[in-house]
Protein backbone atom coordinates (compact mmCIF):
# COMPACT_ATOMS: atom_id res chain seq x y z
CA UNK A 1 0.00 0.00 0.00
CA UNK A 2 1.42 3.39 -0.99
CA UNK A 3 2.14 6.03 1.64
CA UNK A 4 1.15 9.70 1.34
CA UNK A 5 2.97 12.58 3.03
CA UNK A 6 0.26 14.96 4.19
CA UNK A 7 0.87 18.74 4.38
CA UNK A 8 0.77 18.47 8.20
CA UNK A 9 3.77 16.11 8.21
CA UNK A 10 1.93 12.84 8.85
CA UNK A 11 2.73 9.96 6.51
CA UNK A 12 -0.35 7.79 6.02
CA UNK A 13 -1.42 4.89 3.84
CA UNK A 14 -3.66 5.67 0.87
CA UNK A 15 -6.59 3.89 2.55
CA UNK A 16 -7.68 4.38 6.17
CA UNK A 17 -9.20 1.59 8.24
CA UNK A 18 -12.31 2.40 10.25
CA UNK A 19 -12.54 0.78 13.68
CA UNK A 20 -16.04 2.02 14.48
CA UNK A 21 -17.60 -1.39 15.12
CA UNK A 22 -14.60 -3.08 16.74
CA UNK A 23 -15.52 -4.48 20.12
CA UNK A 24 -19.28 -4.30 19.52
CA UNK A 25 -20.70 -5.52 16.18
CA UNK A 26 -17.25 -6.85 15.24
CA UNK A 27 -15.98 -9.12 17.98
CA UNK A 28 -12.37 -9.10 19.13
CA UNK A 29 -11.05 -12.09 17.15
CA UNK A 30 -12.36 -10.77 13.83
CA UNK A 31 -11.24 -7.21 14.63
CA UNK A 32 -7.69 -8.44 15.32
CA UNK A 33 -7.74 -10.41 12.05
CA UNK A 34 -8.74 -7.31 10.08
CA UNK A 35 -6.22 -5.06 11.86
CA UNK A 36 -3.40 -7.58 11.38
CA UNK A 37 -4.18 -7.98 7.68
CA UNK A 38 -4.39 -4.23 7.12
CA UNK A 39 -1.04 -3.69 8.84
CA UNK A 40 0.57 -6.57 6.93
CA UNK A 41 -0.58 -5.04 3.63
CA UNK A 42 1.12 -1.75 4.45
CA UNK A 43 -1.80 0.11 5.98
CA UNK A 44 -1.07 2.38 8.92
CA UNK A 45 -3.95 4.89 9.20
CA UNK A 46 -6.49 3.68 11.79
CA UNK A 47 -9.59 5.72 12.65
CA UNK A 48 -11.78 5.61 15.75
CA UNK A 49 -13.67 7.94 18.11
CA UNK A 50 -14.37 8.41 21.80
CA UNK A 51 -18.01 7.44 21.19
CA UNK A 52 -17.69 4.29 19.02
CA UNK A 53 -19.96 2.47 19.03
CA UNK A 54 -22.24 3.88 21.73
CA UNK A 55 -25.40 2.83 19.83
CA UNK A 56 -24.31 -0.80 20.25
CA UNK A 57 -22.57 -0.51 23.62
CA UNK A 58 -21.08 2.13 25.92
CA UNK A 59 -18.98 4.04 23.37
CA UNK A 60 -15.69 2.88 24.92
CA UNK A 61 -15.34 -0.39 23.02
CA UNK A 62 -13.48 0.68 19.88
CA UNK A 63 -10.74 2.68 21.59
CA UNK A 64 -10.36 0.00 24.26
CA UNK A 65 -9.97 -2.80 21.70
CA UNK A 66 -7.49 -0.77 19.67
CA UNK A 67 -5.47 -0.13 22.82
CA UNK A 68 -5.34 -3.87 23.52
CA UNK A 69 -4.31 -4.62 19.92
CA UNK A 70 -1.57 -1.97 19.94
CA UNK A 71 -0.21 -3.42 23.17
CA UNK A 72 -0.49 -7.07 22.10
CA UNK A 73 1.19 -6.45 18.73
CA UNK A 74 3.70 -3.87 19.98
CA UNK A 75 3.01 -1.79 16.87
CA UNK A 76 2.18 1.71 18.15
CA UNK A 77 5.11 3.19 16.22
CA UNK A 78 3.77 1.69 12.97
CA UNK A 79 0.29 3.19 13.29
CA UNK A 80 -1.01 6.69 12.57
CA UNK A 81 -3.82 6.80 15.09
CA UNK A 82 -6.82 9.08 14.68
CA UNK A 83 -9.62 9.59 17.18
CA UNK A 84 -12.31 12.21 17.78
CA UNK A 85 -14.09 14.33 20.37
CA UNK A 86 -17.31 16.32 20.43
CA UNK A 87 -20.13 14.00 19.39
CA UNK A 88 -22.89 12.66 21.60
CA UNK A 89 -22.54 9.41 23.52
CA UNK A 90 -25.67 8.39 25.40
CA UNK A 91 -26.68 12.00 25.85
CA UNK A 92 -23.31 13.26 27.15
CA UNK A 93 -20.02 14.36 25.61
CA UNK A 94 -21.35 16.52 22.79
CA UNK A 95 -19.55 19.85 22.38
CA UNK A 96 -16.10 21.39 22.02
CA UNK A 97 -15.68 23.32 25.26
CA UNK A 98 -12.20 23.43 26.77
CA UNK A 99 -13.17 21.23 29.71
CA UNK A 100 -14.70 18.61 27.40
CA UNK A 101 -11.66 18.50 25.13
CA UNK A 102 -9.27 18.19 28.10
CA UNK A 103 -11.33 15.45 29.74
CA UNK A 104 -11.93 13.33 26.67
CA UNK A 105 -8.37 13.37 25.31
CA UNK A 106 -7.19 11.87 28.60
CA UNK A 107 -9.94 9.28 28.46
CA UNK A 108 -9.00 8.39 24.88
CA UNK A 109 -5.30 8.13 25.71
CA UNK A 110 -6.09 5.89 28.67
CA UNK A 111 -8.23 3.53 26.59
CA UNK A 112 -5.82 3.51 23.66
CA UNK A 113 -2.87 2.86 25.96
CA UNK A 114 -0.73 5.59 24.44
CA UNK A 115 0.51 9.03 25.46
CA UNK A 116 -0.41 10.73 22.18
CA UNK A 117 -2.70 10.48 19.17
CA UNK A 118 -1.45 11.43 15.72
CA UNK A 119 -4.64 13.08 14.48
CA UNK A 120 -7.41 14.48 16.69
CA UNK A 121 -10.69 15.40 15.06
CA UNK A 122 -13.36 17.79 16.19
CA UNK A 123 -16.13 15.26 15.49
CA UNK A 124 -18.87 17.82 14.89
CA UNK A 125 -19.09 21.60 14.97
CA UNK A 126 -20.19 23.32 18.17
CA UNK A 127 -21.41 26.86 17.39
CA UNK A 128 -22.46 27.31 21.04
CA UNK A 129 -18.83 27.37 22.16
CA UNK A 130 -16.61 30.33 21.22
CA UNK A 131 -14.30 29.27 18.41
CA UNK A 132 -11.31 30.76 20.21
CA UNK A 133 -11.94 28.58 23.27
CA UNK A 134 -12.00 25.45 21.12
CA UNK A 135 -8.91 26.29 19.08
CA UNK A 136 -6.89 27.30 22.14
CA UNK A 137 -7.84 24.04 23.89
CA UNK A 138 -6.77 21.96 20.90
CA UNK A 139 -3.55 23.95 20.54
CA UNK A 140 -2.70 23.30 24.19
CA UNK A 141 -2.94 19.56 23.54
CA UNK A 142 -0.47 19.89 20.66
CA UNK A 143 1.93 21.91 22.82
CA UNK A 144 1.72 19.25 25.55
CA UNK A 145 2.51 16.49 23.03
CA UNK A 146 -0.82 14.72 23.47
CA UNK A 147 -1.83 15.41 19.85
CA UNK A 148 0.27 15.81 16.70
CA UNK A 149 -2.27 17.28 14.24
CA UNK A 150 -5.89 18.44 14.12
CA UNK A 151 -8.80 17.71 11.82
CA UNK A 152 -12.51 18.37 11.46
CA UNK A 153 -15.45 16.11 10.75
CA UNK A 154 -19.01 17.26 10.11
CA UNK A 155 -18.21 20.96 9.73
CA UNK A 156 -19.38 23.50 7.18
CA UNK A 157 -16.47 24.66 5.04
CA UNK A 158 -16.91 28.32 6.03
CA UNK A 159 -16.55 27.37 9.68
CA UNK A 160 -13.28 25.56 8.93
CA UNK A 161 -12.05 28.63 7.04
CA UNK A 162 -12.95 30.90 9.99
CA UNK A 163 -11.30 28.57 12.50
CA UNK A 164 -8.09 28.42 10.51
CA UNK A 165 -8.07 32.19 9.99
CA UNK A 166 -8.37 32.55 13.78
CA UNK A 167 -5.58 30.00 14.29
CA UNK A 168 -3.31 31.90 11.92
CA UNK A 169 -4.01 35.26 13.58
CA UNK A 170 -3.37 33.90 17.08
CA UNK A 171 -0.56 31.47 16.12
CA UNK A 172 -2.58 28.41 17.09
CA UNK A 173 -2.57 24.95 15.51
CA UNK A 174 -4.92 24.87 12.48
CA UNK A 175 -7.15 22.11 11.19
CA UNK A 176 -5.25 20.29 8.42
CA UNK A 177 -7.49 17.30 7.54
CA UNK A 178 -11.21 17.12 6.82
CA UNK A 179 -13.28 13.97 7.30
CA UNK A 180 -16.65 14.04 5.56
CA UNK A 181 -19.03 11.73 3.73
CA UNK A 182 -18.02 11.24 0.11
CA UNK A 183 -18.54 8.52 -2.47
CA UNK A 184 -18.85 8.03 -6.22
CA UNK A 185 -22.62 8.37 -6.46
CA UNK A 186 -24.36 11.73 -6.47
CA UNK A 187 -26.36 12.67 -3.37
CA UNK A 188 -30.05 13.51 -3.60
CA UNK A 189 -30.21 17.20 -2.71
CA UNK A 190 -33.75 16.85 -1.39
CA UNK A 191 -32.69 14.48 1.43
CA UNK A 192 -31.50 16.20 4.62
CA UNK A 193 -28.54 14.67 6.49
CA UNK A 194 -29.18 12.75 9.70
CA UNK A 195 -27.22 15.31 11.73
CA UNK A 196 -26.98 19.06 11.18
CA UNK A 197 -23.46 19.09 9.70
CA UNK A 198 -23.43 15.53 8.39
CA UNK A 199 -23.46 16.72 4.75
CA UNK A 200 -22.36 14.62 1.80
CA UNK A 201 -19.36 16.23 0.12
CA UNK A 202 -20.26 18.25 -2.95
CA UNK A 203 -18.32 20.22 -5.55
CA UNK A 204 -17.94 23.36 -3.41
CA UNK A 205 -16.31 21.42 -0.57
CA UNK A 206 -13.99 19.67 -3.03
CA UNK A 207 -12.91 23.00 -4.52
CA UNK A 208 -12.34 24.40 -1.03
CA UNK A 209 -10.15 21.47 -0.03
CA UNK A 210 -8.22 21.59 -3.28
CA UNK A 211 -7.57 25.32 -2.85
CA UNK A 212 -6.43 24.86 0.77
CA UNK A 213 -4.33 21.76 -0.02
CA UNK A 214 -6.29 19.89 2.64
CA UNK A 215 -6.86 16.14 2.24
CA UNK A 216 -10.33 14.64 2.49
CA UNK A 217 -10.79 11.45 4.48
CA UNK A 218 -14.00 10.10 2.97
CA UNK A 219 -16.20 8.14 5.33
CA UNK A 220 -19.26 6.13 4.24
CA UNK A 221 -17.45 5.90 0.91
CA UNK A 222 -18.72 2.39 0.10
CA UNK A 223 -22.35 3.05 1.09
CA UNK A 224 -22.57 0.04 3.41
CA UNK A 225 -22.22 -2.47 0.60
CA UNK A 226 -24.76 -0.81 -1.71
CA UNK A 227 -22.42 -0.97 -4.72
CA UNK A 228 -22.74 -4.75 -4.64
CA UNK A 229 -26.32 -4.76 -3.30
CA UNK A 230 -28.21 -1.73 -4.71
CA UNK A 231 -31.23 -2.52 -2.55
CA UNK A 232 -29.16 -1.11 0.34
CA UNK A 233 -28.78 2.26 -1.36
CA UNK A 234 -31.69 3.94 0.39
CA UNK A 235 -32.82 7.41 -0.61
CA UNK A 236 -29.66 9.46 0.01
CA UNK A 237 -27.96 8.75 -3.32
CA UNK A 238 -28.85 8.64 -6.98
CA UNK A 239 -28.26 5.25 -8.60
CA UNK A 240 -29.31 5.04 -12.22
CA UNK A 241 -26.87 5.34 -15.12
CA UNK A 242 -23.86 6.30 -12.96
CA UNK A 243 -24.18 3.17 -10.85
CA UNK A 244 -24.84 0.98 -13.90
CA UNK A 245 -21.74 2.32 -15.68
CA UNK A 246 -19.62 1.80 -12.57
CA UNK A 247 -20.72 -1.81 -12.29
CA UNK A 248 -20.01 -2.38 -16.00
CA UNK A 249 -16.48 -0.94 -15.76
CA UNK A 250 -15.80 -2.93 -12.59
CA UNK A 251 -16.70 -6.12 -14.45
CA UNK A 252 -14.30 -5.15 -17.25
CA UNK A 253 -11.53 -4.54 -14.70
CA UNK A 254 -12.25 -7.82 -12.91
CA UNK A 255 -13.03 -6.24 -9.52
CA UNK A 256 -16.10 -5.49 -7.45
CA UNK A 257 -17.82 -2.11 -7.81
CA UNK A 258 -16.62 -1.23 -4.30
CA UNK A 259 -13.01 -1.92 -5.30
CA UNK A 260 -13.45 0.33 -8.32
CA UNK A 261 -14.78 3.09 -6.05
CA UNK A 262 -11.60 2.73 -3.96
CA UNK A 263 -9.58 3.07 -7.17
CA UNK A 264 -11.52 6.18 -8.19
CA UNK A 265 -11.19 7.82 -4.78
CA UNK A 266 -7.44 7.26 -4.54
CA UNK A 267 -6.85 8.60 -8.07
CA UNK A 268 -9.33 11.47 -8.32
CA UNK A 269 -6.74 14.04 -7.18
CA UNK A 270 -5.16 13.65 -10.62
CA UNK A 271 -8.04 15.67 -12.09
CA UNK A 272 -8.35 19.46 -11.76
CA UNK A 273 -10.41 20.71 -8.83
CA UNK A 274 -10.07 17.62 -6.64
CA UNK A 275 -8.05 17.27 -3.43
CA UNK A 276 -6.22 14.18 -2.26
CA UNK A 277 -8.90 11.77 -1.06
CA UNK A 278 -8.24 8.96 1.42
CA UNK A 279 -11.08 6.42 1.52
CA UNK A 280 -12.03 5.31 5.02
CA UNK A 281 -14.02 2.14 5.53
CA UNK A 282 -14.50 -0.78 7.85
CA UNK A 283 -14.93 -4.28 6.51
CA UNK A 284 -14.81 -7.95 7.34
CA UNK A 285 -11.55 -9.72 6.57
CA UNK A 286 -12.83 -11.04 3.23
CA UNK A 287 -14.32 -7.73 2.16
CA UNK A 288 -11.17 -5.86 3.23
CA UNK A 289 -9.07 -7.96 0.87
CA UNK A 290 -11.60 -7.52 -1.94
CA UNK A 291 -11.93 -3.77 -1.47
CA UNK A 292 -8.17 -3.25 -1.39
CA UNK A 293 -7.87 -4.86 -4.81
CA UNK A 294 -8.94 -1.44 -6.02
CA UNK A 295 -5.44 -0.17 -5.22
CA UNK A 296 -4.02 -2.32 -8.03
CA UNK A 297 -6.54 -1.12 -10.63
CA UNK A 298 -5.09 1.13 -13.33
CA UNK A 299 -7.32 4.03 -14.35
CA UNK A 300 -6.19 6.14 -17.28
CA UNK A 301 -6.85 9.88 -17.35
CA UNK A 302 -9.48 9.22 -19.99
CA UNK A 303 -11.21 6.61 -17.80
CA UNK A 304 -11.16 8.91 -14.79
CA UNK A 305 -12.63 11.75 -16.83
CA UNK A 306 -15.26 9.48 -18.31
CA UNK A 307 -16.29 8.25 -14.86
CA UNK A 308 -16.66 11.85 -13.69
CA UNK A 309 -18.73 12.92 -16.66
CA UNK A 310 -21.46 10.35 -16.18
Residues annotated as catalytic are 52
CA distance 26 to 77: 25
Residue 48 · residue 55 · CB < 8 Å:
no
For 251-275, b/e burial (b = at least 16 CB within 10 A) is eebebbbbbbbbbbbbbbbeeeebb
- Residue 99's SS3 state is helix
CA distance 52 to 65: 11
Print the SS3 string covering 46-94.
EECCCCCCCCCCCCCHHHHHHHHHHHHHCCHHHCEEEEEECCCECCECC
CA distance 280 to 190: 25
Residue of 3, 7, 158 whose CA lies nearest to 80: 3
Beta-carbon neighbour count of residue 165 at 10 Å?
A: 12
Cis amide prior to 53 (ω within 30 degrees): yes
Q: Cα 271 to the chain's mean position, in Å?
A: 21
DSSP H/E element including 16: strand 16-18
In Å, what is the CA distance from 240 to each residue of 41, 87, 233, 246, 250?
34, 34, 11, 10, 16
Amino acid sequence: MKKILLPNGLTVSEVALGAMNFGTVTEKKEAYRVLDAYLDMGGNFVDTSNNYAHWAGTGDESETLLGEWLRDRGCRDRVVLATKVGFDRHGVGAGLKKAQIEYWIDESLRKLGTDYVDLYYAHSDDPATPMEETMEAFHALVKKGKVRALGTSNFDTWRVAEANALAKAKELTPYTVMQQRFTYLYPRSSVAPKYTYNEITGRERLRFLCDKNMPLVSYSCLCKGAYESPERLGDEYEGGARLAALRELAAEKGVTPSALVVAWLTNIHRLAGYPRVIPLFSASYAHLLENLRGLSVTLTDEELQAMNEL
